[in-house]
Amino acid sequence: MMNTTLSVYFGSERTYVALLNTAREGLEVMHANVFPQALKSEYDIPHLSQMIVKDLAPFHGMVQAVNFSIPIEKVYIYQVPNADLSRKAEIKALLKEEIKAVEPEKTTDDFSIMLIPGNASEDGSKHMLAVLTDHALLNLCKECLSGFKVPITFTQNSQFAAHSACITNYPEYAGKSIAIFGVQDHFIDVSILHAGNLAFYSLYGIPEDEDFGSVCGKILTATLPAHLPDIPSPDLVLLYGEGLKKNPLDALSIAVNNPTQRFNAFRSLLASGSLGVSSMALCNKAAHLFPPVIGAYLKPLQEKEITYL
């Protein structure tokens, strides 16, 4: 088999896996599962690691690599205004101060730092997004997956992995605008992809006295047009995540004019002959929980424009 990769998402409440393979016809799903345990500390490793290895036992020897993603709430994201990549030391000094404010005992050396093109500001100057991921968390994840004895790679956080999964699964929107809402219980990550690039990213809380549909409606009808005057209203709104429930999704569909759907992470993927009945049922039922899993296998959006500090 060519390039058979185990893709894992260490979610906040559960752990998700998919065995993926790039075949001549496209991306194949060989297996998928979800475990009711999250990786919260080193004490979770023995049990969770054992569960994952046991689950993949029928595919023993076929896994050639492991990729994983982590929840976006486990990373720090900062806007770097007027970012000049020739002045990396200045950017790092700026981020050092930001880290000091939230985790005084840590420095930028404790984090993997990724810079990606972000929102253009009103005066046309380019912002960059700095994404900081704690090495200690990445090492915890790698330890949990070490039983496979193959190369292990951290690829992306959940929301950014969803960007990649979106491009693969909704190719007919390649030149258009898509809003991606990553839904948790108390907040929503919002990204706008325009013509295959990230045009906007931000995090919004869901106030206790407001319902999910009205918060999303305001973001789509007021917030985004103000921030993105040159980009038309999204041609498609995709929602995914552990906080997504059917009733709020229906309410949002009624509240806004934009076509609104549950994100189907398997929409353009092929079912391998090895995909069992229970895995197939899971793919159908829980497709909106798997964008971070599928995206962990795929290349990051705008990969050539990413800078690591």
Per-residue pLDDT of the chain (309 residues; tens, 9 = 90+): 457 999 999 999 999 999 999 988 899 999 999 999 999 999 999 999 999 999 999 998 899 999 999 999 999 999 888 777 778 888 899 999 999 999 999 999 999 999 987 765 555 566 788 999 999 999 999 999 999 999 999 989 999 999 999 999 999 998 899 999 999 888 999 999 998 889 889 899 888 888 788 888 889 988 888 888 888 889 999 999 988 877 767 777 777 888 999 999 999 999 998 899 999 999 999 999 999 999 999 998 877 778 888
- The partner residues of 215 in beta bridges, in order of sequence, read none
* Structural domain contains residue 291: yes
| pTM over 0.85, yes/no | yes
CA pair distance 89, 202, nearest whole angstrom: 25
Q: Please count the structural domains in the chain.
A: 3
**Which alpha helices (H) appear in the chain, and where do they start and end?**
45-55, 88-102, 135-144, 158-169, 212-218, 224-227, 246-255, 277-285, 291-297
Q: Are residues 147 and 249 in the same domain?
A: no
Asked if residue 302 belongs to a domain, the reply is no
Q: Is 199 in a helix, a strand, or coil?
A: strand
Q: Are residues 193 and 147 in the same domain?
A: no
Give 186's DSSP letter: S
Characterize 112-129 residue by residue with b for buried, 16 or more Cβ atoms within 10 angstroms of its Cβ, and e for exposed: bbbbbbbbeeeeeeebbb
Q: The domain spanning residue 271 has which CATH number?
A: 3.30.420.40
Q: Are 179 and 252 in the same domain?
A: yes
- Domain assignment present for residue 82? The answer is yes
Question: Is 234 a domain residue?
Answer: yes
CA angle 109, 110, 112 (to 5 degrees): 85
Q: Is the residue at 37 inside a domain? A: yes
Residues 6+ apart with CB under 8 A from 131: 75, 76, 77, 113, 114, 115, 116, 157, 160
- Is residue 303 domain-resident? no
Q: Are residues 177 and 251 in the same domain?
A: yes
Structural domain of residue 184, as residue ranges? 168-262
Specify whether 94 is located in the same domain as 26: no
